[in-house]
Amino acid sequence: MVVVGAGFGGLSTVKGLRRADVDVTLIDRHNYHLFQPLLYQVASALLDPSDIAHPVRSILRGVPNCHFRLATVAGVDFERGIVRTSTGDLEYDHLVLATGSATSYFGNQALAGRAYGLKDLGEALALRARVLDVFEQASRTRSPDERRALLTFVIVGAGPTGVEYAGALSELVHHVLKRDFPDIDVEGVDIVLVEAVGSVLGAFAAGLGRRAEAALRRKGVRILFDHMVSEVRDGEVVFASGAHLAAQTMIWTAGVSADTPPGLAGIERTAQDRIRVNPATLEVVGQPDVYAIGDVAACPGPDARPLPMVAPVAIQQGQQVARVIAARTRGEAGPAPFRYRDRGSMATVGRNVAVAQIGPLRLSGLLGWMTWLFVHLMSLVSFRNRLLVLIGWAWNYVFYDRPVRLIVSPTPPSEIAGGRPTLP
Amino acid sequence: MVVVGAGFGGLSTVKGLRRADVDVTLIDRHNYHLFQPLLYQVASALLDPSDIAHPVRSILRGVPNCHFRLATVAGVDFERGIVRTSTGDLEYDHLVLATGSATSYFGNQALAGRAYGLKDLGEALALRARVLDVFEQASRTRSPDERRALLTFVIVGAGPTGVEYAGALSELVHHVLKRDFPDIDVEGVDIVLVEAVGSVLGAFAAGLGRRAEAALRRKGVRILFDHMVSEVRDGEVVFASGAHLAAQTMIWTAGVSADTPPGLAGIERTAQDRIRVNPATLEVVGQPDVYAIGDVAACPGPDARPLPMVAPVAIQQGQQVARVIAARTRGEAGPAPFRYRDRGSMATVGRNVAVAQIGPLRLSGLLGWMTWLFVHLMSLVSFRNRLLVLIGWAWNYVFYDRPVRLIVSPTPPSEIAGGRPTLP
């Protein structure tokens, strides 16, 4: 059988099948599993990529019946049971699609070409380099208008990613870059969080959203409610109201859609391009033995709306699919229908402020932050990562320093395509 | 005054002038200082870039009379005293050139296009990704010939960089990748160190070279003495003898030349494009108030041969130039002529084996390694780096694991040049 995607859902499936009588091939386009909830900390130069990314092969060492293949999926031949990949075809009896989600610009090419996304490691590294680079540019310009535009950061979307990045960016600017760039008056730095509706963290309880909003304002983040971006030009953001804002950097966290592989003819999609699945077994509607889990799947929750695109859903669905496949392999009846257990959600607004809702519990401030820290550290894949991340944080907490402020890209030999560290 | 280059030499100059009555602008094309002696550990996936690279601006916090500018140098107008950079002109009264050295392919474009260098962080990251990628390719090919070529690594040049990388690569393969790739028989991996003469570490005492050679052979590295590479084709290395070797990856450490900025009309160069300097004051011959230090300078040593391209030379020359400039600024007589104090040299051949010569002392094996470890840890720029590097090493030492095996590049927005994290 084949599992596509080494995110939370795919790894959960593979681990659940560790003792089953199946031979699993796990495909991913990257050679690492990414702990996405901390991605914004790479983009704000607090963590190294290796703090939140872990090689898939090293995770799979304890799973003898699973083989990894670095590849992108080009399509699926459902009739013959074949996955077509960039590195050859693979036959399957069971297929699990766990390809996650990606930044969506709603087809707006101008937006895609000018905005920074914050969904994968490459995007986070590019954003980190961009922030450092505009500060370098601002330090040498003599034009106040140009400097103002260079130091204006427009973050679109006040969901968890937008809120967490706005808070982290503000701390980077006011505590670290302020000392690195003595020529720049950081009071002139404008971090603008743009939200189409009238509140931040819309998915949280209203009280927690207001606390996060207050924490952001204390950090100097300007919040524009009821604003929508209609256009992005070179150095300028245009709102639906017609208002303009001179800004050289825009971060787009307002759109996400399923990262469905190409070539899935005849598969039913719902909003955000998610794949419609049977809510009990997570099988793709109309395709027996093909499953979709996590962000890529549209699985109705108790209120009939699709379950949110968060890690716990993907993990629990991976466990369910593993149970379904293991039962079928043994010729037994399947497990009880899938039911998502919501263990709560949380978001952090920088150093020692976070909001969390866990069942009836509502936490905020330092207590919320301690909870947030504990949950995330415990969830990180390996012990080494946990320890190093903790040291990195402790260092930052005590010294207010972010040591990862590097602008760097790989430079492969120039002539041959084979020399490039990219996929075929 | 202007200092070009934030390597060991440039930083040493700037720090030496901390209390002098001068206003310094430090230029570098990167925003970080690189601890080059450990670069091969990034290329062998043992260390993170941020373990050995440190933001220049953060180093300069304690140097109030120095400003940093991220730029490349396009040329120097010596008559008018102007440095032309990618981000505008800068006037100078004193100019210090400390631009270091770079991989040299002796003008061989085919070589440059196909070989991996190991002199800067971009090259190290590309090589790291390449090694991981050919293992991925080897794990899925069914052709034994193709697999053999994918798993053959030709390292050209048995100086410290070639020897250290060969040892580190062997350990990565035999202790880490062996477990990551259970399908690959690592006994079939061929690490070939190619050297034009008949010994390794030619600059060291002969006894130490032989010990390093023996250590490499114990690690399974194949050494080809008296071999020269004459040509590199796609998947094949050709030697001057006419012999061929099927290999998909070649690492070139056999050529280094000064990284002299363009547009230095009328400056005298010697072998390896180094700038001829006055051995007492380190002034560029024929250009008063212009100095060259470190790898970019050809400064004759006691035996009349130019001093080697190593960090201690650059550091000591930076201190001398700072003394010379400070004296001139005060209208005093200059310091005593420059004299290089050779404090010894060392090279490591992987886990717990190193060779070191310190004055009359010759160390090897574990004692050499402990010395090597101590000296390098003490030299790393910041305490945080020292601590994290030590933890990384300790982890690796105990668990034989390299956690940094990520294939990753920044992915900036696609459309605009201004969005790229590169220099103008």
- A74, pLDDT greater than 90: yes
Examine the domain organization and report whether B247 and B278 are in the same domain. Answer: no
Residue A216 lies in a domain: yes
Examine the domain organization and report whether A142 and A159 are in the same domain. Answer: yes
pLDDT band at B404 (very low <50, low <70, confident <90, very high): confident
Residue B53 lies in a domain: no
- B147, pLDDT greater than 80: yes
Identify the weakest region by mean pLDDT among A159-163, A207-211, A275-279, A399-403.
A399-403
CB–CB of B69/A140 below 8 Å? Answer: yes
- A417, pLDDT greater than 60: no
Q: What is the pLDDT of residue B382?
A: 61
CB–CB of B13/B95 below 8 Å? Answer: no
Examine the domain organization and report whether A152 and A250 are in the same domain. Answer: yes
Output the CA torsion sign for B101, B107, B112, B116.
negative
CB–CB of B281/B324 below 8 Å? Answer: yes
Examine the domain organization and report whether B264 and B242 are in the same domain. Answer: no
Examine the domain organization and report whether B246 and B263 are in the same domain. Answer: no
CB–CB of B47/B38 below 8 Å? Answer: yes
The Cα–Cα gap between B362 and B346 comes to 10
In this complex, is the C-beta atom of A387 within 8 Å of any C-beta atom belonging to chain B?
yes
Identify the weakest region by mean pLDDT among B131-145, B285-299, B349-363.
B349-363
Residues in chain A within 8 Å Cβ distance of B409: 122, 125, 409-410, 421-422
Q: How many domains does chain A have?
A: 2
Q: What are the tens digits of pLDDT across the range B180-225?
A: 999 999 999 999 999 999 999 998 988 999 999 999 999 999 999 9
The Cα–Cα gap between B291 and B317 comes to 10
Taking CB atoms and an 8 Å limit, are A419 and B114 in contact across chains?
yes
Residues in chain B within 8 Å Cβ distance of A235: 418
Taking CB atoms and an 8 Å limit, are B113 and A31 in contact across chains?
no
Q: What is the pLDDT of residue A385?
A: 64
Q: What is the pLDDT of residue B397?
A: 64
The Cα–Cα gap between A402 and A177 comes to 9
Residue B44 lies in a domain: no
Tokens, residue A47: 């963590």
Q: What is the pLDDT of residue B23?
A: 97
Q: Which B residues in the span 60-119 are in contact with A, Cβ-Cβ below 8 Å?
A: 61, 67, 69-70, 87-88, 109-110, 112-116
CB–CB of B24/B66 below 8 Å? Answer: yes
Tokens, residue B264: 């230095």
pLDDT band at B317 (very low <50, low <70, confident <90, very high): very high
Average pLDDT rounded to a whole number, residues B378-406: 67
Strand arrangement, sheet containing B244-246: B229-233, B236-239, B244-246
- B339, pLDDT greater than 90: yes
In this complex, is the C-beta atom of A186 within 8 Å of any C-beta atom belonging to chain B?
no
Substitution target in B406, B422, B423 with the highest count of A β-carbons within 10 Å is: B406
Identify the weakest region by mean pLDDT among A237-241, B60-64, B334-338.
B60-64
Examine the domain organization and report whether B9 and B156 are in the same domain. Answer: no
Examine the domain organization and report whether A99 and A20 are in the same domain. Answer: yes
Taking CB atoms and an 8 Å limit, are A407 and B30 in contact across chains?
yes
Q: How many CB pairs under 8 A join A and B?
A: 207
Examine the domain organization and report whether B269 and B303 are in the same domain. Answer: yes
Residue A123 lies in a domain: yes
Strand arrangement, sheet containing A88-91: A73-77, A82-85, A88-91
Q: What is the pLDDT of residue B418?
A: 36
Per-residue DSSP letter, A259: -
Q: What are the tens digits of pLDDT across the range A283-309?
A: 999 999 999 999 999 999 988 999 999
Q: What is the pLDDT of residue A416?
A: 38
Mean pLDDT of chain B: 90
Top mean-pLDDT range of A184-188, B34-38, B405-409: A184-188
Across the interface, which of B61, B140, B391 has its CB nearest the CB of A69?
Answer: B140
Would you name the residues of A annotated as active-site residues? Answer: 164
CB–CB of B163/B200 below 8 Å? Answer: yes
Residue B342 lies in a domain: no
Q: What are the tens digits of pLDDT across the range B369-382?
A: 888 878 777 776 66
CB–CB of A80/A34 below 8 Å? Answer: no
Tokens, residue B371: 């010395």
Q: What is the pLDDT of residue B248?
A: 96
If one counts every other C-beta atom within 10 angstroms of the C-beta of residue B270, the result is 14
Taking CB atoms and an 8 Å limit, are A30 and B408 in contact across chains?
yes
The Cα–Cα gap between B67 and A73 comes to 49
Taking CB atoms and an 8 Å limit, are A248 and B418 in contact across chains?
yes
Q: Where are the beta strands (DSSP E) in B53-189?
A: 53-55, 66-70, 73-77, 82-85, 88-91, 95-97, 101-103, 115-116, 152-156
Q: B249: helix, coil or strand?
A: strand
Q: What is the pLDDT of residue A373?
A: 78
User: Helices (H), strands (E): how many in chain A?
Assistant: 13, 25
CA distance A232 to chain B (A): 12
- B421, pLDDT greater than 60: no
Tokens, residue A33: 């599993």
Average pLDDT rounded to a whole number, residues A161-190: 94
Write the CATH number for A284: 3.50.50.60
Q: What is the pLDDT of residue B182?
A: 92
The Cα–Cα gap between A245 and A238 comes to 6
CB–CB of A295/A140 below 8 Å? Answer: no
Examine the domain organization and report whether A151 and A196 are in the same domain. Answer: yes
User: What's the pTM value of the predicted model, to 2 decimals?
Assistant: 0.91
pLDDT band at A258 (very low <50, low <70, confident <90, very high): very high
pLDDT band at B400 (very low <50, low <70, confident <90, very high): low
User: Least CA distance to A411: which residue of chain B?
Assistant: B122
Residue A18 lies in a domain: yes
Tokens, residue A308: 């949110």
Q: Which B residues in the span 126-145 are in contact with A, Cβ-Cβ below 8 Å?
A: 126, 129-130, 132-133, 136, 139-140
Q: Return left, alpha or beta for B15; rule: phi > 0 is left, psi -120 to 50 is alpha, else beta.
A: alpha
Q: What is the pLDDT of residue B423?
A: 32
Examine the domain organization and report whether A78 and A143 are in the same domain. Answer: no
CA distance B375 to chain A (A): 22
Taking CB atoms and an 8 Å limit, are B48 and A53 in contact across chains?
no
Examine the domain organization and report whether A185 and A323 are in the same domain. Answer: no
Residue B174 lies in a domain: yes
Q: What is the pLDDT of residue B375?
A: 79
Taking CB atoms and an 8 Å limit, are B32 and A414 in contact across chains?
no
- A72, pLDDT greater than 80: yes
Identify the weakest region by mean pLDDT among A46-60, A178-192, A235-249, B71-85.
A46-60
Q: What are the tens digits of pLDDT across the range B148-187?
A: 999 999 999 999 999 999 999 999 999 889 999 999 999 9
Q: Which A residues in the span 206-265 are in contact with B, Cβ-Cβ below 8 Å?
A: 234-235, 248
CA distance A115 to chain B (A): 6
Write the CATH number for B141: 3.50.50.100
Q: Which domain holds residue A392?
A: 109-254+351-399
The Cα–Cα gap between B40 and B161 comes to 7
Residue A85 lies in a domain: yes
In this complex, is the C-beta atom of B186 within 8 Å of any C-beta atom belonging to chain A?
no
Q: Please list the residues that pair with A391 across neighbouring strands.
A: none
Examine the domain organization and report whether B262 and B310 are in the same domain. Answer: yes
